[in-house]
Amino acid sequence: MTLFPAIGLAPLRLLAIVLFAAVVPCVLMTAPAVATQYATQLGLGPARIGQLFSVELAAMSLATLPAYYWQSRWDWRQVARGAALLFIVANLASSSTDDYATLMALRALSALAGGSLMVVCIASAAQSQQADRVYGLWVSGQLTLGAVGLWVLPPLFASYGLKALYIGLATLMLLCLPLAGAFSPGNTDTASRRTEQPNGPGWLPGLCGLLAVLVFYAGLSAVWTFIGSIAGASAIEPSSSGRILSIATLLGIAGSLCATLIGSRWPRNLLLGLGLGLMTTAICLLLGAPSLLRFAGAALLFKFCWTFVLPFILACLADLDQHGRLMNSANLVIGGGLALGPAIAGPVLEAGLGMHSVLIGSACCLLLAFSALVVTRRSRFPVTTGVHP
């Protein structure tokens, strides 16, 4: 019960942030099960399946662009209601079509609505004095629903097909719809809580913060997309690697919850360095041909630290955001980073440069992210004050 006052948000607003943000990316969070069903039910090949997921990711990210207009002009509660209704309609329509082109258009429409909801959630979380804790719960909700989805969807697919996914998403969003009124009318709260910096910290820290988010996601997505290939090249049985990666999902939930519990109690620079440093260590453990034990340790450590450090990275951006636009941009940058990692790693592997090059590049991305965050933090808390929370 003491968590809500510490976070500084009304309980219903916090619940709205966590639940809406969990439902929106559910298709992407359950991609392995959904991809298998696309192939089985619709007879789609890898290229077309990849295109469907790419369209969802791109549309969710591109929802940032219209948000630059409405974020400072429209009531966020009305935007959330409209986006939720569009999400429901698009998913119900998706459940009744097997045509590939129609399905792709409907998935883009659903993701565009979902991306608008994600912008509202991310910007609303930034209004808290304890944004790191809110983002910890934001991540936990996504991971938890994704884990539940991976567990329940295969038997549901066997009985009902893809309808189970799309009708399920529409139902979950319909249940969340009453919570849309819990969002704030706009971004006035964000500006009012930062009166100590009325002129803002300038454009460079914000740019460095966005760069940190971009390279962080690019680095982690390059590793996580091909981590199964690392296991295969190391002669690790698919069943063993699958169990390890399933357990890693639970560790991911634990990492985000740890971030929520710690919040601002520990120096954020220490937490950023610890999280990114241990992620880099995990990547190094994957170099060469790791044994089963080393692979397991690296995968579990990587997933835990990924979700542990992410809330603190986003909180660094929230500290700088006076008008909500920086956190809006974060939605675009997150999607760009998730797409950029595999887009670079794939051609690197096809060119024969090997997984070693991908892992080294990913480690460099994490180090670059930390360097950019240091610049951001120094701008937020100048050295002359002698204070670096």
Q: Quick: pLDDT tens for 190-204.
A: 444 444 444 455 678
156 lies in the same domain as 214? no
322 lies in the same domain as 245? yes
CATH number where 316 lies = 1.20.1250.20
155 lies in the same domain as 262? no
187 lies in the same domain as 211? no
What is the pTM (predicted TM-score) of this model? Answer: 0.85
Residue 198 in domain? no
319 lies in the same domain as 253? yes
- Mean pLDDT, range 367-381, rounded to an integer: 84
CA distance between the termini of the chain: 26
- Mean pLDDT, range 208-235, rounded to an integer: 90
- Mean pLDDT, range 211-216, rounded to an integer: 95
- Mean pLDDT, range 14-41, rounded to an integer: 92
Q: How many structural domains are present in the chain?
A: 2
Q: Quote the domain boundaries for residue 168.
A: 3-192
Q: Which pLDDT value is given to residue 6?
A: 54
- Mean pLDDT, range 306-334, rounded to an integer: 86
Asked whether the predicted pLDDT for residue 383 surpasses 60, the reply is: no
Where does the pLDDT of residue 323 fall: very low under 50, low under 70, confident under 90, or very high at 90 and above? low
Residue 243 in domain? yes
Which of 192, 212, 235 terminates a domain? The answer is 192
262 lies in the same domain as 366? yes
Where does the pLDDT of residue 187 fall: very low under 50, low under 70, confident under 90, or very high at 90 and above? low
Where does the pLDDT of residue 379 fall: very low under 50, low under 70, confident under 90, or very high at 90 and above? low
- Mean pLDDT, range 32-61, rounded to an integer: 88
Q: Which pLDDT value is given to residue 377?
A: 80
Residue 82 in domain? yes
Q: Which pLDDT value is given to residue 145?
A: 94
Residue 225 in domain? yes
Q: Which pLDDT value is given to residue 141?
A: 93
Determine the Cα–Cα distance for residues 110 and 123; give it in Å rounded to an integer: 20
280 lies in the same domain as 358? yes
Q: Which pLDDT value is given to residue 31?
A: 86
129 lies in the same domain as 249? no
In angstroms and rounded to an integer, the radius of gyration of the C-alpha atoms of the chain is: 20
212 lies in the same domain as 163? no
Residue 311 in domain? yes
Asked whether the predicted pLDDT for residue 336 surpasses 80, the reply is: yes
Q: What is the pLDDT of residues 123-162, one digit of tens each?
A: 898 888 888 899 999 999 999 999 899 889 999 999 999 9
93 lies in the same domain as 35? yes
Where does the pLDDT of residue 378 fall: very low under 50, low under 70, confident under 90, or very high at 90 and above? confident
Which of 192, 225, 249 terminates a domain? The answer is 192
Where does the pLDDT of residue 7 fall: very low under 50, low under 70, confident under 90, or very high at 90 and above? low
Q: Which pLDDT value is given to residue 192?
A: 44
75 lies in the same domain as 168? yes
Residue 24 in domain? yes
Where does the pLDDT of residue 386 fall: very low under 50, low under 70, confident under 90, or very high at 90 and above? very low
Q: Which pLDDT value is given to residue 190?
A: 46
Residue 197 in domain? no
183 lies in the same domain as 244? no
Q: Which pLDDT value is given to residue 87?
A: 98
Higher confidence at residue 385 or residue 52?
A: 52
Q: What is the pLDDT of residues 94-118, one digit of tens each?
A: 999 989 999 999 999 999 999 999 9
Residue 240 in domain? yes
